[in-house]
């Protein structure tokens, strides 16, 4: 079976709807067709300051949400990044293969560091995409299910895989598989409900534009009802002209597994109010059991930790093998 690898940050506590529709939903589906590795990326989280107690709690909370969303530890490998030391180890090797200019071109770094200011930006944030390269290559992943915002990092991964293969291997025995991004077009970018020109984001969205899955469902319902649309009244999917309505249609269609044209037909002649009220209801119905399941997993930390420990063991077996090959090929003396 082809292999997939992806990760999610444990930074904000709750996942938001963009994380779920853009990434986690695909992770769940890919368990049936792929050898799937998924992780909570705590090493990435510390590229910005974290309170230790909150980081620990949020890491377990992220794992609980992934299980609640439908990841099944019998059908995928779910683990915490820091439990597998090979990530940091291969990350260093990859840092030494990455050009400074190349890393400087990463748009996510440019955006985030501009917001934080140079004094508060860490070197870790700068090399974050390179650690992500190591995350992916360690598992010899064929595909990386992510949202559109991560495409550039997967491109960097491809470049570095090819660079390492060329420099240190032979053409018929490459060290790394060169991975493809796996981006589902329809949900690749879920937009802020108040500003449909920008992606929904935990750090950049206003509270009213961001739908957190663990928030009180009634509060989220209100956000759908007051979503920004346009001055027209026709419900039509047209991201250029009607970004707000199109975003709502995408969310609605995905959560109910309906097609957008079907929704357009259903809402022909009806106003935006009807669409927003119904979507609010659809969301509440979907999110309520998700929240309950998350609480159940959190209520049994022993089981949760043992799922993560088993996942780390499976992940390490693969990661250690890749790292050993890498160390050998770059000329490190084997440890006796």
Interface residues toward ligand AQP, by CB under 6 A:
8-9, 16, 18-19, 22-23, 146-147, 149-150, 189-190, 199-204
Q: Pick the catalytic residue: 185, 189, 199, 208?
A: 199
User: Could you report how far apart the first and last alpha carbons of the chain are, in Å?
Assistant: 34
Taking a C-beta distance cutoff of 8 angstroms, is the pair 18, 192 a contact? no
| Cα gap 319→136, rounded to integer Å | 10
Task: Compare residues 21 and 177 and give the one whose CB is closer to ligand AQP.
Answer: 21
CA dist., res. 297 & res. 68, Å (int): 8
CB atoms within 10 A of CB 311: 24
202 is catalytic: yes
Dump the DSSP string for 198-220: SB--TTTS-GGG--BTTS-HHHH
Name 37's bridge partners: 5, 77
Cβ closest to ligand AQP, residue 109 vs residue 176: 109
Is residue 330 a known part of a binding site?
no
**Angle 329-310-183 (CA atoms, 0-180°, nearest 5)?**
70
The residues pairing with 242 across neighbouring beta strands, listed in sequence order, are: 238
Nearer to ligand AQP, 48 or 178 (CB): 48
The minimum distance between CB 98 and ligand AQP, in angstroms, equals 20
Residue 112 Cβ, how far from ligand AQP at the closest point, in Å? Answer: 7
Active-site choice (115, 185, 202, 276): 202
Active site residue 310: no
Partners of 4 in beta bridges: 36, 143
Q: What minimum distance in Å lies between the beta carbon of 180 and ligand AQP?
A: 14
Tell me: is residue 10 an annotated ligand-binding position: yes
**Would residue 199 show up in a list of annotated catalytic residues for this protein?**
yes
Cβ distance to ligand AQP smaller for residue 4 or 326: 4
Q: Which is nearer to ligand AQP, 138 or 190 (CB)?
A: 190
Q: How far is the CB of 22 from ligand AQP (least distance, A)?
A: 2
Give the nearest distance from C-beta 30 to ligand AQP in angstroms.
Answer: 13
Residue 94 annotated as lining a ligand binding site: no
- Say if residue 190 carries a ligand binding annotation: yes
- Cβ-closest residue to ligand AQP? 22
**Catalytic residue, candidates 112, 189, 242, 276:** 112
In the bound complex, what is the minimum distance in angstroms from residue 199's beta carbon to ligand AQP? 4
Burial of 65 (0-12, 13-18, 19+ CB in 10 A): buried
* Radius of gyration (C-alpha) of the chain in whole angstroms: 21
CB proximity list for 12: less than 8 A, separation 6 or greater: 58, 202, 203, 212
SS3 state of residue 65: helix
Q: Is the CB of 175 or the CB of 254 nearer to ligand AQP? A: 254
Provide φ and ψ at 170, rounded to 5°.
-120, 155
Distance CA 202, CA 15 (A): 8
Residue list for the binding site = 9-11, 18-19, 135, 147-149, 190, 199-203
Residue list for the binding site for ATP = 9-11, 18-19, 147-149, 190, 199-203
Question: Which residues are identified as catalytic?
Answer: 112, 199, 202
């Amino acid at each position: 079976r082809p292999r997939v690898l992806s990760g999610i940050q444990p930074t904000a506590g709750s996942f938001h709807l963009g994380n779920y529709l853009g990434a986690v939903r695909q992770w769940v589906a890919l368990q049936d067709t792929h050898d799937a590795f998924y992780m909570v990326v705590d090493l990435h989280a510390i590229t910005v300051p974290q309170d230790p107690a909150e980081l620990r709690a949020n890491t377990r909370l992220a794992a609980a949400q992934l299980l609640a969303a439908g990841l099944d530890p019998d059908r995928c490998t779910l683990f915490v990044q820091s439990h597998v030391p090979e990530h940091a180890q291969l990350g260093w090797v990859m840092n030494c293969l990455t050009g400074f200019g190349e890393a400087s071109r990463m748009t996510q770094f440019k955006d985030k560091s501009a917001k934080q200011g140079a004094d508060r930006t860490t070197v870790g944030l700068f090399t974050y995409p390179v650690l992500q390269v190591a995350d992916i290559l360690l598992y010899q992943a064929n595909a990386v299910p992510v949202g559109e915002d991560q495409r550039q990092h997967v491109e960097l991964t491809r470049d570095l895989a090819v660079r390492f293969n060329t420099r240190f291997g032979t053409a018929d025995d490459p060290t790394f598989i060169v991975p493809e991004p796996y981006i589902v077009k329809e949900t690749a970018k879920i937009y802020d409900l108040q500003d449909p020109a920008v992606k929904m984001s935990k750090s950049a969205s206003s509270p009213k534009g961001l739908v957190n899955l663990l928030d009180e469902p009634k509060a989220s319902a209100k956000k759908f009802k007051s979503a920004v649309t346009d001055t027209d009244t026709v419900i039509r999917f047209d991201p250029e002209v009607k970004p707000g309505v199109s975003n709502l249609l995408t969310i609605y269609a995905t959560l109910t597994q309906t097609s957008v044209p079907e929704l357009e037909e259903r809402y022909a002649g009806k106003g935006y109010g009807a669409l927003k009220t119904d979507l609010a209801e659809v969301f509440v119905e979907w999110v309520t059991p998700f929240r309950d399941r998350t609480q159940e997993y959190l209520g049994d930390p022993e089981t949760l930790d043992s799922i993560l420990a088993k996942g780390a063991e499976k992940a390490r077996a693969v990661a250690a093998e890749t790292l050993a090959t890498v160390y050998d090929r770059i000329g490190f003396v084997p440890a006796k």
